[in-house]
Amino acid sequence: MKYIVVLADGMADEPIEKFGGKTPVMAAFTPVMDEICRLSATGLVHTVPDGFHPGSEIANMNILGYAPAKYFQGRGVIEAAALGLDFEPDELVFRCNLISLEEDILINHSAGHITSAEASELIDALNIELGSETVRFHAGTSYRHVMVIKGGNAHLKCIPPHDHPGKPAAPLFPVATANEAKETEALLHDLMNRSMAVLANHPVNQKRRAAGKKAADAIWPWSPGYKPNFPSFKERFGIESGAVISAVDLIFGIGKLAGLEMIHVEGATGLHDTNYEGKAAAALEALKRHSFVFLHVEAMDEAGHEGDCDLKKQVIEDFDRRLLKPLYEGLKKMDEEVAFLLLPDHPTPCNLRTHVLAPVPFMLMKSSVTPDDVQVLDEESVKKGSFGEVEGSKILELLFSKE
């Protein structure tokens, strides 16, 4: 038996007036997903444990069987693992966005989805101007980077920038939650303010403005933590080997910490222009070598953060036609049975442009599971599914169950 999880990041949503009260996945034309659904059992899964913010890091860790309360040490260290970085125990690691500001308003969490090449130049400039024996920056993918403070204190309240588009930036800066973190708070504020001067007239930003694109106006450090210690996926589930396919460092980082192979697909961007076909082909090839594949698609989440319901509907249809179709056709031709699980990690409603805490629909297709009467996968249909409501930490147990 082989196993694949297809994670449609942020696909779940809320009713949208433009779609006649339907969600984007209800409004989208998804014949392949519908066909798989008719052969599956369905339900709702609570991907985020009680007491946690509905971030992708929390939901995906939980789905993969790593209880956030025990293993989560901040998003920065997870993404750093994907970059192959290692740290000393006293080094505090942050996820560090490049963001866009307009008169001190946080207008975009991604600097207009700046390219990795452009961002790398800016990170180099930040290291030259702001880097020291205490502070250093590491370039990641697009707007997603890593910042390290040696001796930093993690008792901080840090706000994810994608949660507050259109809000004044300064009141959202990191705040110490204990006296011993006051020095780290002051350093963060200083770095954020000084980054604006470093980036203001950088040639990369000048070119972006001239082209009518958003500029990378500042850094935004958040989700701090120290070096984590994960048991391997094999230790957790007894699965001999596995792989993770994504365009996002966060997902690769979780996979690497779990001992999964990281598979990078050329042209995989995490956006609407991602290489869907390449991801499907990579997943089929990976299943020849591994027992388990985690295939992550980011485009729906980014469309939700942009508040673009038409784009979200489009990328769901692209996902169905360009990824699920070749993947499903390939799975049917495999010599060995493949158990198939599809779900989002959290809702990203277009009307809110951020993640919300709510259960999401899932479907599981495997020979030992009797299909239910649900005909299409969406937020409402699966309420009649045979699985009912499931805790996220148990979802892989359903997938791997021998019953």
Q: How far apart are CA 215 and CA 98, in angstroms?
A: 9
Report if residue 333 sits inside a domain: yes
Q: Kindly state whether residues 379 and 247 are assigned to the same domain.
A: yes
Examine the pLDDT at 403 and tell me if it is beyond 70: no
> What is the predicted pLDDT for the residue at 351?
95
Long-range pairs of 64-67 with CB within 8 A, sequence gap ≥ 24: 64/233, 64/254, 64/258, 64/294, 64/396, 65/233, 65/236, 65/237, 65/393, 65/396, 66/230, 66/236, 66/254, 66/258, 67/393
Report if residue 75 sits inside a domain: no
Q: Kindly state whether residues 316 and 169 are assigned to the same domain.
A: no
Examine the pLDDT at 313 and tell me if it is beyond 80: yes
Examine the pLDDT at 106 and tell me if it is beyond 80: yes
Cα Rg of the chain (Å, integer)? 21
Q: Kindly state whether residues 163 and 238 are assigned to the same domain.
A: no
> What is the predicted pLDDT for the residue at 87?
85
Query: Within 10 A of 283 (CB to CB), how many other CB atoms are there?
Result: 25
pLDDT tens for each residue of 363-389: 999 999 999 999 999 999 999 999 999
Of 178, 210, 225, the residue that ends a domain is 225
Which has more confidence, 57 or 118?
A: 118
Report if residue 76 sits inside a domain: no
> What is the predicted pLDDT for the residue at 290?
97
Q: For residues 143 and 97, is the Cβ–Cβ distance under 8 A?
A: yes
Report if residue 360 sits inside a domain: yes
Examine the pLDDT at 163 and tell me if it is beyond 90: no
Instruction: Give the start-end residues of each E strand in 226-291.
Output: 242-246, 261-264
Q: Kindly state whether residues 116 and 264 are assigned to the same domain.
A: no
Q: Kindly state whether residues 51 and 139 are assigned to the same domain.
A: no
Report if residue 189 sits inside a domain: yes
Q: For residues 309 and 20, is the Cβ–Cβ distance under 8 A?
A: no
Its sign, for the CA torsion 310, 316, 319, 322, is negative
Of 204, 225, 246, the residue that ends a domain is 225
pLDDT tens for each residue of 200-221: 999 999 999 999 999 999 999 9
Q: Kindly state whether residues 172 and 240 are assigned to the same domain.
A: no
Angle, helices 56-63 vs 249-257, to 10°: value is 40
> What is the predicted pLDDT for the residue at 240?
86
Q: Which residues pair with 138 in a beta bridge?
A: 146
- Provide, rounded to the nearest whole percent, the portion of the chain with pLDDT above 70: 100
Report if residue 166 sits inside a domain: yes
pLDDT tens for each residue of 296-307: 999 999 999 999
Q: Kindly state whether residues 294 and 325 are assigned to the same domain.
A: yes
Nearest to 110 by CA among 120, 96, 124, 123: 96
Of 183, 201, 225, the residue that ends a domain is 225
Nearest to 250 by CA among 146, 132, 103, 359: 146
Report if residue 77 sits inside a domain: no
> Total domain count for the chain?
2
pLDDT confidence bin for 155, thresholds 50/70/90: very high
Examine the pLDDT at 188 and tell me if it is beyond 70: yes
Its sign, for the CA torsion 347, 353, 355, 357, is negative
Tokens of 248: 């996002």
Q: Indicate the burial class of 148 (C-beta count within 10 angstroms; 0-12, 13-18, 19 or more).
A: buried
Q: Kindly state whether residues 52 and 116 are assigned to the same domain.
A: no
Q: Which residues pair with 261 in a beta bridge?
A: 243
> What is the predicted pLDDT for the residue at 121?
98
Report if residue 19 sits inside a domain: yes
Q: Kindly state whether residues 57 and 137 are assigned to the same domain.
A: no
Please name the amino acid found at residue 163: D
- Write the CATH number for 268: 3.40.720.10
pLDDT tens for each residue of 83-103: 888 888 899 999 999 999 999
Burial pattern 334-356, b for ≥16 Cβ within 10 A else e, equals eeeebbbbbbbbbbbbbebbbbe
Q: Kindly state whether residues 215 and 328 are assigned to the same domain.
A: no
Tokens of 58: 């929390």
Q: Kindly state whether residues 347 and 205 are assigned to the same domain.
A: no
> What is the predicted pLDDT for the residue at 79?
87
Q: Kindly state whether residues 236 and 352 are assigned to the same domain.
A: yes
Residue ranges making up the domain that contains 91:
82-225
Average pLDDT, the chain: 95
Q: What angle (nearest 5°) sits at the alpha carbon of residue 37, between those of residues 288 and 322?
A: 55
